[in-house]
Amino acid sequence: MATVHRPATRARTAVFAPLGDAGRAVRVAQRLEQAIRAGILAEGERLPSEPELASMLGVATVTAREALVSLRAQGLVTTVRGHGGGSFVTRPEGGHERVTRQRLAAMTKVELGDHGTHYSAVLAGCAELAAERADTEEVAELREIVALGRPRDDAPEPTLGEVRHADTELHLAIAALTQSARLAREVVRMESDFGVVLRLPLGLDEHRTRIHDLQQQLIAAIGHQDPAAARAVMRRRVQETLGALARMRADALRGVEA
């Protein structure tokens, strides 16, 4: 299996941060599962070895081993023995576009709105704190993240997956800038639960252009240390996407009824 190498990011650092005294196998498995479903850990990526994983998370090696067994049973990790082997990420079938659209169509208006309210409240708070705490170097890192999801003269056109991944990384990096491990973990959990649905509209050219513009506004607000503006832009980002999702859901239901 070809090994995927991914650069270190604040979001990835949060994935492998120590769990603390209550770090049981189920918690290790849950954190890695959330990171895989959120796209922080990529398809084909080699995970740290069992001893490395145990050391990074602050748990016993046997605990890390049990967690990997659980992830293999869910089809999220494949282990290859021998030279060049290891445990590799396998993205779940549920991450495919068709399945995600089906999930959106199955959601009620109340459920969609509830997800959006939670997402907006948490991320708007993260954006506000990031604007208060981020330094110049950290703001530059945010710009580098979003650049990966935009067309450039010196690189091929980014795929839709790369566009979506850059947006996910931006939100996770902003959460990390709050300097709150609890908030960072909550955003990872939200991304694994609802992030793939939230990014469905990025497949639409007009929506993608609008989100790119809002990303620029958000980073500018953080760079100018303007918490109120950062919060407002993040709320607009989520609200506009919820509107696009509502339209996509209505179209899907009309297709079913037809």
Tens-digit pLDDT profile for residues 138-196: 999 999 999 988 888 777 888 888 898 889 989 999 999 999 989 988 998 888 888 88
Q: How many residues does the chain have?
A: 258
The answer to whether the beta carbons of residues 141 and 177 sit under 8 Å apart is: no
> Residue 213: pLDDT above 90?
yes
Q: Identify which has the larger pLDDT, 196 or 106.
A: 106
Q: Which two tokens stand for residue 201?
A: 């509209």
pTM of the model: 0.75
**pLDDT above 70: percentage of residues in the chain:** 88
Q: What is the mean pLDDT of residues 200-210?
A: 95
In terms of Cβ atoms closer than 10 Å to its own Cβ (0-12, 13-18, 19+), residue 149 is: buried
Token pair 């990966």 in the structure block, residue: 148
Give CA–CA dist 91/96, Å, rounded.
9
Q: What is the mean pLDDT of residues 90-96?
A: 62
pLDDT for 5 beyond 90: no
First to last CA, the chain: 44
For tokens 């290891």, the residue is: 86
More confident residue, 228 or 187: 228
The yes-or-no verdict on residue 224 having pLDDT over 90 is yes
Q: Give mean pLDDT, residues 239-246.
A: 96
Q: Which residue has the higher pLDDT, 107 or 74?
A: 107
SS (H, E, C) the chain: CCCECCCCCHHHHHHCCCCCCCCCHHHHHHHHHHHHHHCCCCCCEECCCHHHHHHHHCCCHHHHHHHHHHHHHCCCEEEECCCCCEEEECCCHHHCHHHHHHHHHHCCHHHHHHHHHHHHHHHHHHHHHHHHHCCHHHHHHHHHHHHCCCCCCCCCCCCHHHHHHHHHHHHHHHHHCCCCHHHHHHHHHHHHHHHHHHCHHHHCHHHHHHHHHHHHHHHHHHHCCCHHHHHHHHHHHHHHHHHHHHHHHHHHHHHHHC
CA distance 198 to 104: 9
Q: Which residue has the higher pLDDT, 97 or 124?
A: 124
For the chain, what percent of residues have pLDDT higher than 90? 52
**The predicted structure's pLDDT at residue 154:** 78
Of the pLDDT bands very low, low, confident and very high (cuts 50, 70, 90), residue 258 is very low
Q: Measure the CA–CA gap between 75 and 99, rounded to whole angstroms.
A: 16
pLDDT score of 105: 92
**Tokens representing 150?**
């935009």
Say yes or no to pLDDT of 44 above 50.
yes
Compute the average pLDDT of residues 203-224: 96
More confident residue, 164 or 4: 164
Confidence of residue 229 (pLDDT cuts 50, 70, 90): very high
Mean pLDDT value across residues 122-138: 97
